[in-house]
Amino acid sequence: MENKAENKVNEKVSDTMTNPVNKSANEHTPQQIHRGRWKLYLVIAICASPLFFSYLTYYVIKPTGRTNYGTLLDPRLYPMPKLDSQLQGSGAQELDAYKGKWIMLQVSASDCQAACKKSLLNMRQLRLMQGKDMDRIERVLVITDQNPMETSLLREYDGTHVLRADAKNVEAWLPAEQGSTMQDRLYLIDPLGNLMMRYSVDADPYKIKKDLDKLLKASSIG
The pLDDT of residue 25 is above 90: no
Q: Lay out the sheet containing 137-143: strands in order across.
A: 71-72, 195-200, 185-189, 102-108, 137-143, 161-164, 86-87
**Residue 67: per-residue pLDDT:** 75
Q: What's the chain's length in residues?
A: 222
44-55 residue pLDDT tens? 666 655 555 444
Whole-Å CA distances, 118 to 29, 59, 167, 181, 196: 75, 32, 21, 17, 22
**Residue 219: per-residue pLDDT:** 83
136-152 residue pLDDT tens? 999 999 999 999 999 99
Residue 63 or 202, more confident: 202
Q: How many other CB atoms are there within 10 angstroms of residue 203's CB atom? A: 18
The pLDDT of residue 132 is above 60: yes
**Residue 52: per-residue pLDDT:** 52
Q: How far apart are CA 104 and CA 124, in angstroms?
A: 10
Q: What is the mean pLDDT of the chain?
A: 82
The CATH superfamily label for domain 71-218 reads Glutaredoxin (3.40.30.10)
Whole-Å CA distances, 127 to 37, 181, 209: 56, 24, 9
- Domain locations in the chain as residue ranges: 2-61, 71-218
Among candidate residues 71, 85, 126, the one with its CA nearest the CA of residue 104: 126
Whole-Å CA distances, 43 to 30, 33, 48, 54, 56: 20, 16, 9, 18, 20
Going by the DSSP 8-state scheme, the letter that residue 73 receives in this structure is -
**Residue 66: per-residue pLDDT:** 60
Mean pLDDT value of segment 195-208: 93
Share of the chain above pLDDT 90, in %: 59
* 201, 185 Cβ separation under 8 angstroms: yes
Entry pTM: 0.70
Q: How far apart are CA 130 and CA 149, in angstroms?
A: 29
